[in-house]
């Protein structure tokens, strides 16, 4: 890596490609590294390859010239079907053409799995850089790349990603990542929120289907909503389309303490909604990290994963972790999720008050 660093000092890269495909939280944990990359090579044109959901979140980012969408889910959906199989091949061909539209002087592969390695191999890049082999998940030898001599260690994902930029010459402190402005989305959602009544506290009780055991119990979110409302918070609940029946159950349990948040038609509109919040409370899921990246105070509820490595990053963030002997773990499913059940409503309420500053007196108190 020292040889690569010196070569880049002599001849700074004109075009750089970042590869980090998914999930939302992992993509957002790369944003501080993107800022450091821009500070290290201020004249470079930077592109980013990511999957469709994350691509819409990144489009318009001030540090990016272009965002290349990898339509993995669309290809996987269409490929097995006779009628759409040809379309899947056409999508893949179009993606490869866009990937190879430019030759890159430097490629940074932040993901370290087979899928991202294949994309890095397909791209036309003179220098490829990736994490230490111990910190890659699958077949790092498939891509010829320069790697740090030592792993980053047991550090937060943000620090791990910055470790690569430091190896390329960055000497600054940990930078705060940033998001695009989402101006149109903020205007639309702001009008729907009626901000004259004050910025809302947003609860996002759900995670993606494959990680349901990371969720806090629904009845506890209802109790939290009631406790926050008693303290003067205007509480709104967000949910993806498939989670709205569950959201409605929580609203029924919460009574008049909470309302459904305005509907959002895209991840950009969700980001705009979260940006306008006073406080966001969520489990280990994308919206928690979007809010943190937007500089909104957050309270994260963690059980299976270690928040020291995967928690929300930045000022104004608080984490409550269910302390049980089996946490953290690497399971993909769990039938009891006692770690999440170990988080008490009273502790979350206290964290909310501490995070937003001066506690709001409970009604009548």
- Total length of the chain: 365
Is the per-residue pLDDT at 363 higher than 60? no
**pLDDT digits over 63-108, tens only?**
999 999 999 988 988 888 767 778 889 999 999 999 999 999 999 9
What band does 14 get if pLDDT is binned at 50, 70 and 90? very high
Percent of the chain with pLDDT over 90: 76
339 cis-preceded (ω within 30 degrees of 0): no
Residue 31 has pLDDT above 70, yes or no: yes
Instruction: Say whether pLDDT at 240 is over 80.
Output: yes
pTM for the model stands at 0.92
| pLDDT at residue number 142 | 65
Please, are residues 240 and 272 in contact by the beta-carbon 8 Å criterion? no
- H-state helical runs in the chain: 2-10, 24-28, 31-40, 52-58, 72-78, 85-99, 114-122, 157-167, 183-193, 218-230, 244-254, 267-275, 286-293, 307-310, 338-341, 345-356
Stated as kind and residue range, the H or E segment containing 228 is helix 218-230
Helix (H) or strand (E) holding 301: strand 298-302
Residue 196: what pLDDT? 85
Structure tokens at 223: 């109790």
Tokens at 155, concatenated:
């550090």
- Does position 362 have pLDDT exceeding 70, yes or no? no
Q: Is the pLDDT of residue 364 over 60?
A: no
Q: How confident is the model at residue 155 (pLDDT cuts 50, 70, 90)?
A: very high
Structure confidence at residue 185 as a pLDDT band (50, 70, 90)? very high
pLDDT tens digits for range 160-176: 999 999 999 999 988 88
pLDDT the model gives residue 175: 81
Lowest average pLDDT, out of 127-131, 173-177, 187-191, goes to 173-177
Average pLDDT over residues 113-142: 86
Q: What is the mean pLDDT of the chain?
A: 92
Between 109 and 23, where is the model more confident?
109
CB 214 within 8 A of CB 303: yes
Task: List the structure tokens of 93.
Answer: 């061909």
Whole-number pLDDT of residue 346: 96
Residues 134 and 13: their CA atoms lie apart, in Å, by 27
């Amino acid at each position: 890596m020292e040889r690569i660093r010196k070569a880049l000092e002599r001849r700074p890269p004109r075009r750089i490609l970042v590869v980090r495909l998914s999930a939302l939280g992992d993509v957002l944990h790369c944003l501080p590294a993107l800022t450091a990359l821009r500070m290290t090579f201020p004249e470079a044109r930077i592109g980013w390859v990511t999957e469709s959901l994350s691509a819409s979140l990144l489009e318009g980012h001030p540090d990016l010239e272009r965002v290349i969408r990898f339509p993995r889910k669309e290809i996987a959906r269409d490929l097995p079907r006779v009628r759409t199989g040809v379309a899947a091949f056409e999508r893949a061909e179009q993606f490869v053409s866009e990937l190879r539209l430019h030759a890159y002087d430097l490629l940074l592969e932040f993901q370290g799995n087979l899928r991202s390695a294949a994309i890095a191999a397909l791209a036309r890049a003179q220098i490829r850089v990736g994490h230490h082999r111990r910190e890659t998940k699958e077949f790092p030898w498939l891509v010829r790349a320069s790697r740090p001599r030592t792993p980053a260690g047991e550090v937060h994902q943000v620090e791990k990603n910055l470790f690569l930029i430091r190896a390329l010459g960055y000497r600054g402190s940990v930078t705060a990542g940033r998001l695009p402005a989402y101006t149109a989305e903020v205007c639309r959602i702001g009008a729907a929120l009626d901000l004259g009544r004050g910025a809302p506290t947003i609860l996002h009780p759900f995670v993606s289907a494959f990680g349901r055991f990371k969720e806090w119990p629904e009845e506890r979110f209802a109790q939290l909503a009631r406790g926050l409302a008693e303290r003067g918070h205007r509480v709104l609940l967000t949910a993806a389309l498939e989670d709205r029946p569950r959201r409605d159950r929580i609203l029924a349990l919460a009574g008049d303490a909470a309302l459904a948040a305005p509907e959002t038609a895209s991840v950009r509109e969700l980001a705009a909604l979260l940006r306008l919040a006073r406080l966001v409370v969520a489990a280990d899921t994308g919206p928690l990290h979007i809010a943190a990246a937007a500089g909104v105070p957050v309270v994260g509820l963690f059980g299976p994963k270690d928040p020291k490595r995967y928690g929300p990053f930045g000022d104004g963030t608080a984490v409550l972790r269910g302390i049980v002997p089996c946490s953290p773990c690497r399971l993909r499913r769990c039938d009891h999720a006692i770690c999440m059940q170990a988080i008490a409503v009273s502790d979350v309420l206290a964290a909310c008050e501490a995070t937003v500053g001066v506690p709001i007196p409970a009604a009548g108190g």
